[in-house]
Every structure is written in C-alpha cells, then in structure tokens.
Amino acid sequence: MTAKMTMAQAINSALRDAMTADESVVVFGEDVGPLGGVFRVTEGLTRDFGEDRCFDTPLAESGIVGMAAGMAMNGMRPVVEMQFDAFAYPAFEQIVSHVAKFGNRTRGTLRLPMVIRIPYAGGIGGVEHHCDSSEAYYAHTAGLTVVAPADNTDAYALLRAAIEWPDPVVYLEPKRHYFSNEEVDLAAADSTIGRAAVVRKGRDATLIAYGPSVPVALAAAEEAATEGRDLGVVDLRSIVPFDDDTVCEQVKHTGRAVVVAEAPGFASVASEIAARVTERCFHYLEAPVRRVTGFDIPYPAPKLEHFHLPDTARILDAVDELQWEEQP
Amino acid sequence: MTAKMTMAQAINSALRDAMTADESVVVFGEDVGPLGGVFRVTEGLTRDFGEDRCFDTPLAESGIVGMAAGMAMNGMRPVVEMQFDAFAYPAFEQIVSHVAKFGNRTRGTLRLPMVIRIPYAGGIGGVEHHCDSSEAYYAHTAGLTVVAPADNTDAYALLRAAIEWPDPVVYLEPKRHYFSNEEVDLAAADSTIGRAAVVRKGRDATLIAYGPSVPVALAAAEEAATEGRDLGVVDLRSIVPFDDDTVCEQVKHTGRAVVVAEAPGFASVASEIAARVTERCFHYLEAPVRRVTGFDIPYPAPKLEHFHLPDTARILDAVDELQWEEQP
Amino acid sequence: MSVDELGAAVATVRILDEAGDLVDGADRPDSDALLAGYRQLVHGRRLNEQAGALVRQGRLAVYPSSRGQEACQVACVTALSEGDWLFPTYRDAVAIATRGVDPVEVLSMLKGDWHCGYDPAQHRVAPQATPLATQLLHAVGVAHAARLKGEDTVVMALCGDGATSEGDFHEACNFAAVFASPVVFFVQNNKYAISVPLARQSVAPSLASKAVGYGMPGVRVDGNDLGALSTVLGEAVEQARRGGGPTLVEADTYRVEAHTNADDATRYRTTDEVDEWAGRDPLTRVSAYLRGVGALDDDIEAEFAADADRMAARVREGLGVDVAPDPDELFAHVYATPTQQLVQQRAALQGEFDVEEA
Amino acid sequence: MSVDELGAAVATVRILDEAGDLVDGADRPDSDALLAGYRQLVHGRRLNEQAGALVRQGRLAVYPSSRGQEACQVACVTALSEGDWLFPTYRDAVAIATRGVDPVEVLSMLKGDWHCGYDPAQHRVAPQATPLATQLLHAVGVAHAARLKGEDTVVMALCGDGATSEGDFHEACNFAAVFASPVVFFVQNNKYAISVPLARQSVAPSLASKAVGYGMPGVRVDGNDLGALSTVLGEAVEQARRGGGPTLVEADTYRVEAHTNADDATRYRTTDEVDEWAGRDPLTRVSAYLRGVGALDDDIEAEFAADADRMAARVREGLGVDVAPDPDELFAHVYATPTQQLVQQRAALQGEFDVEEA
Ligand SMILES: Cc1ncc(C[n+]2csc(CCOP(=O)(O)OP(=O)(O)O)c2C)c(N)n1
Ligand SMILES: Cc1ncc(C[n+]2csc(CCOP(=O)(O)OP(=O)(O)O)c2C)c(N)n1
Ligand SMILES: [Mg+2]
Ligand SMILES: [Mg+2]
C-alpha cells in the first residue's frame, strides 16, 4: 500500500483519515480553510468535510489555542495550525498554563486531547520569524507531548497517533521537507508515540537526531561510510516522551555519540540528550557526547542561514573529535 | 557600609539608586505604583520619584513588555515587573520575537536596554501559576541576558548591573527569599554580569546552583561537612552569559559535580550545565554529572510542593551516587 | 457622533435603587424568584464571611472575597440551565457554590490540597482560572463545540475589570462574535484590579462599550441589583441559546474587601469610598424591597440565616479535616499514562520514603 | 441604541469620488499639496511594480505588494514631521520609501541579506514588523517615552485588518488611550489577511468602531482617497501632538494583488471583486481631479514618470549588487559585546573556513 507523496500530502492524508474516522476531529487556524494553508497542508479539507470541520479563524493564535482547549473540554479533538513557529508564541500562555496543565489540574477528569501543528525550523530561506526551532520551549513544559517526524511515513503515522492521543500534542513539522517526494507506506507506519527508531545501524558512533536533522545525520553517516567509519543514526521521533532505552542501547553499543539539532544549543533538547545519555551511559563512553547544533543566535537572514545550520561536514568534524586515539 | 535588609529591600534600593543615578530609568508594571508591588519591592518609588518614573499600567503583560521595548528604543531604560513567573507568559512573543532579537535585527543600531524583573520559583506555598521556574525559556532564547541572584547583596549588585547593561536582561528574583533578612554590603557587591561565584570551596565534589537553589546547596555542603565530605558550591549568578571558566575550574578540581535547580529537569538549564561541564571536563570526571532538579511535572499544589523541591537530602543522595568506589 | 456619546449610549440597567425602591419605569420583579435569590445572597455572604474567618484561623492560605459582589455571583448562575457551563475566576467561589458545587471542594484549592478541588465535568464548572482572561477563550471553545454538536448549551464566562485589558479578553470576544458563539461575557467591574483603579484600566465611557468593536450587544447593569442582573443576564443567556450570539454584560459593582487577605487596601483607596459602596449593599436593597411587598419577614430571614449557618458549619468541618498529602498525586495526572520518566521519578521519590522509614 | 447604530455612527470620510469629482459638502483640497502627493503615488506605484518585477526575475525572494493601497502609504507619511516615528509592517515598503529611506535598503530584507536593511534610528522608521500587531506596542512605548521627555513627537503605527484581531492590538490601543499617548493607529483595511476575508475577522460594523471601547476617537476614511486620508491623518497627528491622545483611523481600501507573489489569490476571491476595486484606483481619481482643475498635464505626468523610472533604475541597480554574506554578521549583533560562547562559536566557524581554504 505504498504511494509517492510529499510530506505536506502525507500530513494532509493523516488529517483526512482522522477526520473520516472520527467526527469529533476538527481542523482550524489561519488560512487553513479555502486556501488550504500557506503550505497547502489542509488542501481540500473544507471542501470535502465542510465549513464546520475545517475553518479559518480570526487572526489570533492565543485565541486559536484557547478555543481549541475549550473544544477539547467539550468532547472534540481539535487539530490547530500555527502558521509558522514564531507565530505560536502569542499562544504561549495558553499552551504552558492551560494546555499542558489542564489534565493535571483537574486530576485527570478533564484531559485535553488536541494537536498543535507547528511548521518549524529553517532551511527554506525564510524571512525572520519563519524559521525558529522552538521545540525546547515545549519539551521543557511538563504535560506536553512533543513529536517531530523526520520522513513522510512518520509524518503520517505520528499525526494519526497524535490525534488519537489522550493528551495534548505539539506536532512539529520540518517545513523544509514539506515538498520532498517520497515513497510512503501508510500501512507499515509505526504510530507509537514515545518510540525512537534506529534508522541506521552503526558500530563506531551513534548520531542522535530528530525532525529536519535526521536526513542530515543520515547523509553524514553515508559520507562517513565512504571513509570507513560506521555511524548509526537514531531518529527520536518523539522528544517527549523520550525513548531512553533505544537511544542508550545504541550509545552503549558504539561508545560514542553526537547529538544533531538545528536549534540553538544552550538549554536545548540537545543539551538534554547529551546530559541524559551521559548519565545513563557514562562508563560506556569513550568520549564526551558532542552536540552539533545551531549557534546561540537568532535565526539568521536567508543569505546567512547555511552558516548556521548543522551540515554533514560539521557532524563529521564532531565525530572526528570523539577521541579515537587513546587519551592521556 | 553594611546594612541589614531583606531581599525585597535590597532590590528596592537598587531601583532607587539607579533611578537617582539615571533619569532615564523608569519602573512600571501591575501594582508597582501606590501599592508598592505585591511583594513591596517598589515600595515608595512613586511617592519619591513621581508618577512619571514609577507607574501602574493596564493589566496586560504583553503590553507592558512591548511598551518597555518602545521606550527603550526611544532612549529610556525601563525596568518592568511581571507580577509572577507564569504571568510573564502572555509577554512571551514580545520577549522572544522582539526584546531578544531587536539589537540583532537592527545590526546594533537600536539595542534595547531594559530589565524584566520576574519573581520566580517556588517554596512559598503559592497557588498554581505562582511558582513556576521559567528560566529555561529565557536562557534558551539567544539575545537575552539572564541573571538570578541568590543572596541580598547580589540582588542589589546584579540589578544595578542589569539596569546599566546595554542589552535586555531577564532578572529572576527568587521570591521565597524576598523577606529573608541579611547583612548586605552594597559597596562590596560584585556587579559583573557573566561571572559565577565560588561561594564555598570544596575538595570532593562541586555543587552548581543558581537563584533559590544556592542556599539549599550551601546547606547540603554544611551537612556533608559534618559527615566528612568537603563540597564546594558555585553560584552561577548569571545563567546567560555562562561562566564556563569558573564552573569548569571547580569541577576539574573536584572531579565530581552535582547540578541543583528547582525547575523540571528536562531540556532545562540544569541539562545545559551537565552537558557543557561534561564536554569540557570529561577526562576529569570520576562520575557522570548528576542533576537534582524538580520533577518533570507542573508545579504542585502547596501541600505537595515539599516533595518536589530539591532539598539537602536529595542533594546528598546524589553526591553519594557519584561513584566514590572504584567502578568496574 | 463623538466617542463620548457612543459610550454614554450604553446606559446602566437598574430595577431597585439603594433603598430597595423600584426605579422609575422598571417592571416589578417576581417576588418568588427574588426571594429565592435573596436566600442565595445570604448564603453567599455567609460563605464569604466563613472563608474569611478560616483564613484568619490559618485553615485557608488565602481567600479573594466577593463581598459586595454577591448579587453578581448569584445572578450569573441562576441564569443558567443544568447543561450550561460556568467559567469562573478565583474570586467566584460564591458563584460556584451557588451552582451546587460543595463549598468544601471549592475552597480546598485555597487550602493547598490540589489545584482544583471539584470535578469540572460533573458540574459543568471549569476550574477557577488564575491567569487572567485566559478562560474566556476556553468558554468560547466549549460554546463553539456545543454549537457544532447541535446542543443548546450556553456558556457564562466571568472576568474582572482588570482582565478586560488582557489580549485574551479581546480575542475571546472577537472569536465569539465572529462565530456567533453562545457565550455571555460577564465582567464584574468591581473598580479595582488589586490596587489599580478602573481609571488606569480604561478610559472608555464604560466597559460594556467594548462590545461595539466586536459587533455584539453590550449592556451595563447595576451589579448590586439582583433583579436587574437576573433580567439582563437571563435575556443574554436566552439570546445566546436561540442562536443570537454572545453578549457582553458589565456589572457596576465594588470589591468591598481587600483583593485578598494578603492585600492592604488602605494603601490605595479611602475608607470613605469603601463606606459609600458598603451603603449600596446588594443584600439590603433586596430585603428592603421584599419586606416592603410582604414577601420577607423575620421568620424567613431567620430560616435563611440558620440555613447559611449550617452550610458554614459544614464548611468549617470539611476544611478541618486534614488530607494527608499523597506524593502519587504529583505524577498521576500529568499524562493520561505516566511516561517512563515519571514512573522512574516517582520510584526515586518512593525510594526516599523507604529510606526514611527504614 | 443598538450596536448597529453605534457602529454605523462612524461614517466614512471622503473628499473625491472614484471619478475624481469632489463629493458633496467636501472642502476643496489644496492642489499643490495634492500634486506633490500625486508625485509620490506615482513613485509608490512604480516601486510596487519594480519590486514585483524583481521577484519574477529572482532578485527578490518575496514581495508583499501594496498596489491599490498607495494613497494610504503616502498619506500616513506626509502627515508626519521629521522628528516623528513611523512603525510599518512588511507591506509598507512604499510608506518607508516615501519617508525617505532608500528603497534599495528597504528591499534588502526581502533579498535575504539582513533582517532590516536600513537604520531605524536615522530615519525614525522602525524595522518592518512581521509578528502581527506587536509593533503597535513599541509605537506606544516610543510615544510615551517622548511624552515623558517633553518632546512633541508623534508616532504613526500601521497594521492591517487581520492584525486587529490580535491581543496586542487591543493592548496597544488601550495603553495608548489610558496614557493619552501621541499615537495614530492606522489600520489599512484591505479586506484580506492572506486568504481570510474581513467577515471572518470581525463582525463589527467597522474597525474604526473599536475605538469606542478604548475611549478614543475612531475615524473611517476612504483609503483610496488621498485628500481624505491626508486630512484625517493630519488632524489625528496634530491632535496627538497637542496632547489630545491617540486616534484610531481605519482606511477602507483593497489589496489588489495577492498577499505576496507566493500566494494564489484566485483560491479565495473572484476576479470580479478585484476588478471592481481596481476601478477605484487611488491614482486615477487624483490625476482626474488635478487635470480637472488644471494642476496636472501630460508634461508633468511625464516628468513624474521619468522621475519614477530613475528611482526604479536605481533600485534595479542597487539590488543587482550581490553583497557577499559575511559570517561575522551571525555573531556580531546578538549582544552589544559578544559573549565568550559566541566568540568561541565564531572561532569554530572560522576554523571551518580555514580548513576549506587549506
Ligand atoms: C495574566 C495574569 N497577570 C497577572 C495576574 C495577577 N493578578 C491576580 S488578580 C489580579 C487583579 C485582577 O483584577 P480584576 O480582573 O479586576 O479582577 P478582581 O480581582 O477585581 O476580581 C492580578 C493582577 C494574573 N493572575 N494573571
Ligand atoms: C503573529 C502572527 N501570526 C501570523 C502571521 C502570518 N501572517 C503574515 S501576514 C498575515 C496576514 C495579515 O493580514 P493583515 O493584518 O490584514 O495585513 P495585510 O497582509 O493584509 O496587509 C499572516 C496571517 C504573522 N506574521 N504574525
Ligand atoms: Mg476588579
Ligand atoms: Mg489585510
């Protein structure tokens, strides 16, 4: 049951299939209706499911998320779109003070099954505010589930899973892959939230990545192979909950690890991965876990972004520094 | 030139002295005027400096921060108060998309010298939303300077420094210490932003803490001393910029380290400290850097908070686990 | 037309004046309904007093009193049907109790046991909201979902004068108006946001006039006049139920006590001002009117008081019981199923107890 | 008074109709001023066209055109004095150029060289704001600081119809009203927020009517009528300067092109609608009027066009120059003094280049 589709189409399929399967699933946000979203992710949903199931709202992100929370309280499963990463910030209070905490506040009597879709990260030459890697804000917030697909199959599978999840999910869409065409096998998709995938087995070192950094890590591993180094790649898929078992198994196996993420490194998800892997695998490590991340700077202007983004060269440099010679 | 004062009074003194020294310093927020703030930090400022220098605004945090940004653009040095940690979230977009990035956006032609004061963290038996440890959100945001005093002298010194700083500063006030009385030496205060303090020298392990966790770390070190273990304590003072040199020097010296912080640990400042200390001191470490943090949960109700907060026992347990025996 | 004229065009609805006399042109209120309301006012006042006493005794950490606002608290609830929803703030304990939630459960949040002491789904009463104005959006969401599901639910969304300055107030009003959601926004304008007076919150001629900019009806009503409130809120609820969309109702009232017991109101307002408003007490005028029409006498008054005393005694008793704090509560509800990490953190905490016990 | 009546009370100010004829009762505009304005309209139109061409040639990544809104773009700037401030959005390149900023600098952001291509302090023009409505608060802050410093600066703050739905719009209007800040909020109601039509943004009778709820004057003006705009905005600016506080001005206009070149407007609106508005072009009516009163002829028209052509040529030339991207720019401006960490990160990046070069 494979088909060739872009990531935007895979997400669109997931929305369609979820809306078909469950009447309480509703999609809303800015420009998601007749236009089909600025990335065409919601293409045709209003036409096919009607105004009540997929609709545009006034232009206000706190409003969108707050209204979604209320709809979830009243038995619906809203899937809302924030148009770009930085435009989710107006909704930050709603997300952190309510969406994340509501189930806890009510001791589980009112959970909020809802999905906040955020096209995130860079690599598209976008103007300022269109390329933030904002996952750390959400991952640090207890009560949120945070997932980020790296390929089109996972884009489908994880969104289906997120919509069925009993708790609110921040679903991060690596926007630079929206239009990448891939063979997708919807039936074979692993829709387990909380499970990382070993997307490449390796003996020498483990690259740990998620979202848009996974393809970069894979490319680095390819390149390393030509130089005789065997690198494994773990795709987290789910940042929260975090799959310690899968990640640590690989790291223990290889004794060396590099974390790859686009976001600025300071107090980031990459920091967490480095810290927790070290805590759990310390005596297996031949070298400190290295982080290859964005610099600690605001996302740069389009002509400068290539300096900022982790690339294969930078990953391979980090791998080279994993103290392959005996240390003093 | 020492005097006995509470932390609230030390902060008040810093505001007064800054307002006296520099006409462009203005203080505003919710209830900071005639009431003097809900913690009395701005007590008497409106009376002594007039309505134009210290005033109440309409109840809107994005408004407060956004207006402050504008005033800073036009030559003033606003110091604004967010009433409690969680009530800064409505201002998140202003803080992240503008305050943090404005100097960068304008290539330094318009920097925003302003201070956002946030009473933060727990330990006061407050109702929900009054005890968040929100520092990770700010520390992860490039362009912000983030400081957190741990004692009354630093509360004064760091606020004076923050107000004179050319860039926006998030100044985190450990609210549970507002009413702690201490001898304060305003003249001797170190007002260097970006410099950590070794508040206790130790031979066996280093406790790394900031803000409200510093006194807890010091108490743990005291207790450890009675059991024959010599623990040092580093008070970061400034989370961003981070003082790698001071922290790493101590850790290299002791070979063991525990990070103490109240915030949930996942993707936090504590993660960053653990990760960067490990990167820089790997071959000096006898054991993985341990983190003693809040659990990955929303801040609990008052009757439950003592379970959540790092205490001396939990710190000493972590120290005990630093593999003092030879490892296999 | 000038803005002043536009704003002034929103007049204040009144039925009874301070002395309990019918104002010119007002319809005579239904005595039975008013008497039932009066009973609830007495209850509400008693709950405010009892909670205040519990704070002084150290049984409650804090209490934001609605003394002086009891008519608002009662009327916004009696306007609702069973299937409707109430979205209260921290100051609306009396409204929640009027809705039928056990006051002990309501107050347990302020005792510190848990973030919300009652089951919101059971009573269709949202948890008391602390982050100002945020709950108004949830109210719109609940209402919009009801509309999509074809239910005739109405949502009563409460906030204060201060909260109208928040961005979420704006977004909620606008969403409700655009989607014609069945919501009544009920602003208790008690003239203060902690210490900040109304004049620093808004220079509009009235808060109700904000409705103009959303394209919804705005009504200003005497917030100490139970009959007027019941009429205005009742009409707004029925209009919403009929599909007529939201209404913004502003109650002109006053916070007679300090913001909470932790606040010192003498720092920012005069006792003269407070006294003046105490003279416009929402209970007095109803009892005066009811006595005037012969619907209330000392016996009934005594019965209401005895009733309220029993309620207060139950509250004292209920809050006197100490619930042993259960550390499981920290981890149990964060997610529907605790993550592996939370299970481990819970085990570590349990380990600490085991050590202590050993 | 019903809300409809309140809203309708805010009428639309007009001076010239679509044909360029003076509307009944309007004062005759000053021909010299109008001619000067016309010159700027021609320039503005040319800049919109040139930028569009540069996008098609791949020299600019994206351009949000203000075609059809040029009268708004020009009038909001000519109303200002030198010391005043302008707070524009991404769509206001023409306004910024009218203010005197080199269009090459304005467009360099869209070329991708840097986040803001001009020096905001030099021109008193804030960087073009992308996060909607956020800049309105900065405008209030600049204005409030000016007032505190005793300067008579006025701030012109621009936003679109969509942006009025954001919480920051509300907070900015309210702050300005409460502090009587010298700000003019100028909403270019061009009927769309990307694909979302005005009806989904607001059901108020007008956006100007939102002023009522803040206690400030609200004026609706024909946004394709340069003379009317100049009068209304000029008065609002002078009122602010005199200490009379803020005004909310809504311009009734239309976004004739798609949101940006990346947008496909046929998905959400009819060409009939676009054609109808194209018939209300802001340039045509001014030229018709000026020709009617003999203030404009083919020679002047040709002179203006030649002028505009020269400007366009300069823009083509300026944007044709490729600035070599300098990695130092990543780190240089994040803080006044780069942190130790940024110095190290910069060095690491430099190390990569050194390796590449070796
Ligand atoms: C977003 C947010 N900011 C600040 C606060 C702190 N705070 C709690 S109550 C209050 C005043 C609210 O005034 P109003 O809305 O008039 O309600 P009232 O207390 O008078 O009932 C403030 C500032 C808060 N709870 N939430
Ligand atoms: C906070 C925020 N949310 C979303 C966006 C994405 N966005 C950019 S322009 C736009 C439409 C704005 O419409 P309007 O305010 O009417 O201005 P116009 O583009 O019509 O000039 C949207 C949704 C944004 N820039 N900022
Ligand atoms: Mg109030
Ligand atoms: Mg528009």
**CATH code, B48:** 3.40.50.970
How many domains does one find in chain A?
A: 2
Domain presence at residue B327:
no
State the ligand closest to the CA atom of D163: 2
Closest residue in B to D117 (Cα–Cα): B106
Same domain, yes or no: A151 and A57 = yes
Residues of chain D contacting C212 with CB distance shorter than 8 Å: 3, 6-7, 204, 209-210, 212-213
Same domain, yes or no: D206 and D188 = yes
Q: Is A43 in the pocket of ligand 2 (CB under 6 A)?
A: no
On whether any CB of chain D is under 8 Å from the CB of C6, the answer is yes
Same domain, yes or no: C251 and C238 = yes
> pLDDT > 70: what percent of chain A?
98
Same domain, yes or no: D61 and D100 = yes
Same domain, yes or no: A170 and A292 = no
Residues of chain B contacting A133 with CB distance shorter than 8 Å: none
Q: Which two tokens stand for residue A195?
A: 């499970």
SS3 B280: helix
Q: What letter does residue C324 receive in the DSSP assignment?
A: P
Best residue of B64, B92, B210, B262 to probe chain A, by most A CBs closer than 10 Å = B92
Same domain, yes or no: C215 and C263 = yes
The number of the ligand 2 atom at minimal distance from the alpha carbon of D131 is 26
Q: Is D258 in the pocket of ligand 2 (CB under 6 A)?
A: no
Same domain, yes or no: A159 and A58 = yes
Please identify which of the residues C124, C220, C255, C280 carries the catalytic annotation: C255
The pLDDT value recorded for residue C55 is: 95
Does residue A110 surpass a pLDDT of 90? yes
Contact between chains at D141 and B167 (C-beta distance less than 8 A): no
Same domain, yes or no: A151 and A276 = no
Cα of A48 to ligand 4 centre, how many Å?
27
| Chosen domain end from B135, B151, B185 | B185
Does residue D2 surpass a pLDDT of 50? no
The pLDDT value recorded for residue C168 is: 98
Average pLDDT for chain B:
96
pLDDT in tens, D50-102: 999 999 999 999 999 999 999 999 999 999 999 999 999 999 999 999 999 99
Q: Of the candidates D201, D352, B204, which has an alpha carbon nearest to the alpha carbon of residue A56? A: D201
The pLDDT value recorded for residue C358 is: 75
Per mean pLDDT, which range of B318-327, D18-27, D160-169 is the poorest?
B318-327
The pLDDT value recorded for residue C339 is: 98
On whether any CB of chain C is under 8 Å from the CB of A34, the answer is no
Pairing status of strand D196-197 against strand D192-193: antiparallel
When pLDDT is averaged across residues A1-25 and rounded to a whole number, the result is 95
The pLDDT value recorded for residue C214 is: 98
How many domains does one find in chain D?
A: 2
Residues of chain D contacting B72 with CB distance shorter than 8 Å: 141
- The subunits that touch chain A, with at least 3 C-beta pairs less than 8 Å apart, are B, C, D
The total of other beta-carbon atoms located within 10 Å of residue C294's CB is 8
Q: Of the candidates A213, A218, A209, which has an alpha carbon nearest to the alpha carbon of residue A177? A: A213
When pLDDT is averaged across residues A297-313 and rounded to a whole number, the result is 97
SS3 sequence of D49-85: HHHHHHHHCCCCCCCCCCCCCHHHHHHHHHCCCCCCE
Does residue A2 surpass a pLDDT of 90? no
Residues of chain D contacting B101 with CB distance shorter than 8 Å: 115
Same domain, yes or no: B168 and B220 = no
> pLDDT > 90: what percent of chain A?
94
Confidence band, pLDDT 50/70/90 cuts, at residue B2: confident
Pairing status of strand A181-185 against strand A2-6: antiparallel
Ligand 1, CB within 6 Å, residue ranges: B 30, 59, 61, 83, 87, 90; C 91, 130-132, 159-163, 190, 192-194, 255, 259
Domain presence at residue B146:
yes
Best residue of D62, D115, D264, D343 to probe chain A, by most A CBs closer than 10 Å = D115
Cα of C172 to ligand 3 centre, how many Å?
18
How far is residue B306's CA from residue A116's CA, in Å, rounded to a whole number? 33
pLDDT in tens, D296-312: 999 999 999 999 999 99
When pLDDT is averaged across residues D277-283 and rounded to a whole number, the result is 96
Same domain, yes or no: B134 and B208 = no
Domain presence at residue B191:
no
Which among A140, A290, A295 has CB closest to B264?
A140
Q: Is D223 in the pocket of ligand 2 (CB under 6 A)?
A: no
The pLDDT value recorded for residue C10 is: 64
The number of the ligand 1 atom at minimal distance from the alpha carbon of C131 is 26
Taking the CA atoms of residue C5, residue C171, residue C12 and residue C279 in that order, the dihedral angle to the nearest 10 degrees is -130
Are D226 and D286 in contact by the 8 Å Cβ rule? The answer is: yes
Same domain, yes or no: D267 and D286 = yes
How far is residue A258's CA from residue A208's CA, in Å, rounded to a whole number? 6
Does residue B328 surpass a pLDDT of 50? no
Domain presence at residue B210:
yes
SS3 A74: coil
Residue D26, CA distances (Å) to D13, D23, D206 in order: 9, 6, 22
The number of the ligand 1 atom at minimal distance from the alpha carbon of C193 is 13
**Ion ligand 4, residues whose Cβ is below 5 A away:** D 160-162, 190, 193
Same domain, yes or no: D188 and D295 = yes
On whether any CB of chain C is under 8 Å from the CB of B328, the answer is no
Residues of chain C contacting D210 with CB distance shorter than 8 Å: 212-213
pTM above 0.95, yes or no: yes
Best residue of D136, D144, D155 to probe chain B, by most B CBs closer than 10 Å = D144
The pLDDT value recorded for residue D349 is: 96
Positions in chain C whose pLDDT score sits under 50: 1-4, 7
Q: Is A246 in the pocket of ligand 2 (CB under 6 A)?
A: no
Domain presence at residue A190:
no
SS3 B299: coil
Best residue of B297, B308, B315, B316 to probe chain C, by most C CBs closer than 10 Å = B297
Same domain, yes or no: D307 and D347 = no
* Strand-pair partners of D251: D188, D221
Give residue D35's domain range.
3-324
Same domain, yes or no: B97 and B123 = yes
Confidence band, pLDDT 50/70/90 cuts, at residue D3: very low
Please identify which of the residues A98, A130, A177, A308 carries the catalytic annotation: A130
When pLDDT is averaged across residues D181-202 and rounded to a whole number, the result is 98
| Residue in the block written with tokens 């704003």 | C7
Cα of C4 to ligand 2 centre, how many Å?
32
Contact between chains at A314 and D352 (C-beta distance less than 8 A): yes
pLDDT in tens, A62-99: 999 999 999 999 999 999 999 999 999 999 999 999 99
Q: Which two tokens stand for residue A87?
A: 């435009």
**Max CA distance (Å), chain A:** 69
The string of DSSP codes covering D245-261 is --EEEEEE----S-SST
Same domain, yes or no: A54 and A157 = yes
On whether any CB of chain B is under 8 Å from the CB of D348, the answer is no
Confidence band, pLDDT 50/70/90 cuts, at residue A327: very low
Same domain, yes or no: C105 and C249 = yes
Chain A, 173 to 232: residues with Cβ < 8 Å from chain C are 194
Contact between chains at C345 and B36 (C-beta distance less than 8 A): no
Cα of D187 to ligand 4 centre, how many Å?
9
Contact between chains at B278 and A298 (C-beta distance less than 8 A): no
Q: Of the candidates C115, C3, C104, C112, which has an alpha carbon nearest to the alpha carbon of residue C50? A: C104
When pLDDT is averaged across residues D228-240 and rounded to a whole number, the result is 98
- The subunits that touch chain C, with at least 3 C-beta pairs less than 8 Å apart, are A, B, D
Closest-CA residue, ligand 2 atom 24, reads: D131
pLDDT in tens, D13-23: 999 999 999 99
Residue B166, CA distances (Å) to A72, B111, B117, D114 in order: 45, 7, 16, 22
| Chosen domain end from B151, B185, B219 | B185
The pLDDT value recorded for residue B325 is: 62
Average pLDDT for chain D:
95
Domain CATH number, residue B233: 3.40.50.920
Count of CB pairs separated by less than 8 Å, A with D: 111
Does residue B209 surpass a pLDDT of 80? yes
Q: What letter does residue C26 receive in the DSSP assignment?
A: P
Domain presence at residue B288:
yes
When pLDDT is averaged across residues D99-122 and rounded to a whole number, the result is 93
Closest-CA residue, ligand 1 atom 18, reads: C160
Contact between chains at D213 and C210 (C-beta distance less than 8 A): yes
Closest residue in A to D347 (Cα–Cα): A295
D192 is catalytic: no
How far is residue C326's CA from residue B234's CA, in Å, rounded to a whole number? 34
Q: Of the candidates C344, B129, C308, which has an alpha carbon nearest to the alpha carbon of residue A93? A: B129
Residue C54, CA distances (Å) to B128, C115, C313, D21 in order: 20, 19, 11, 75
B130 is catalytic: yes
How far is residue C13's CA from residue B320's CA, in Å, rounded to a whole number? 70
On whether any CB of chain B is under 8 Å from the CB of C350, the answer is no
Which among B100, B272, B290 has CB closest to A271?
B272
pLDDT in tens, B33-89: 999 999 999 999 999 999 999 999 999 999 999 999 999 999 999 999 999 999 999
Which among B97, B272, B328 has CB closest to A266?
B272
Same domain, yes or no: A47 and A180 = yes
Same domain, yes or no: D40 and D156 = yes
Give residue B258's domain range.
197-320
Confidence band, pLDDT 50/70/90 cuts, at residue B112: very high
Same domain, yes or no: A155 and A281 = no
C255 is catalytic: yes
How far is residue D255's CA from residue D189's CA, in Å, rounded to a whole number? 9
Q: Is D254 in the pocket of ligand 2 (CB under 6 A)?
A: no
The pLDDT value recorded for residue D71 is: 98
The number of the ligand 1 atom at minimal distance from the alpha carbon of C91 is 21
The number of the ligand 2 atom at minimal distance from the alpha carbon of D130 is 25
Task: Mention every residue, 6+ apart, whose C-beta is less than 8 A from residue A38.
Answer: A31, A83, D194, D262, D263
Same domain, yes or no: C97 and C116 = yes
Same domain, yes or no: D236 and D264 = yes
Domain CATH number, residue C38: 3.40.50.970
Same domain, yes or no: B173 and B201 = no
Contact between chains at C195 and B125 (C-beta distance less than 8 A): no
Does residue B327 surpass a pLDDT of 50? no
Are D101 and D119 in contact by the 8 Å Cβ rule? The answer is: no
Same domain, yes or no: D337 and D318 = no
Q: Is A87 in the pocket of ligand 2 (CB under 6 A)?
A: yes
The pLDDT value recorded for residue B105 is: 97
Same domain, yes or no: A148 and A248 = no
Q: Which two tokens stand for residue D304?
A: 């203006």
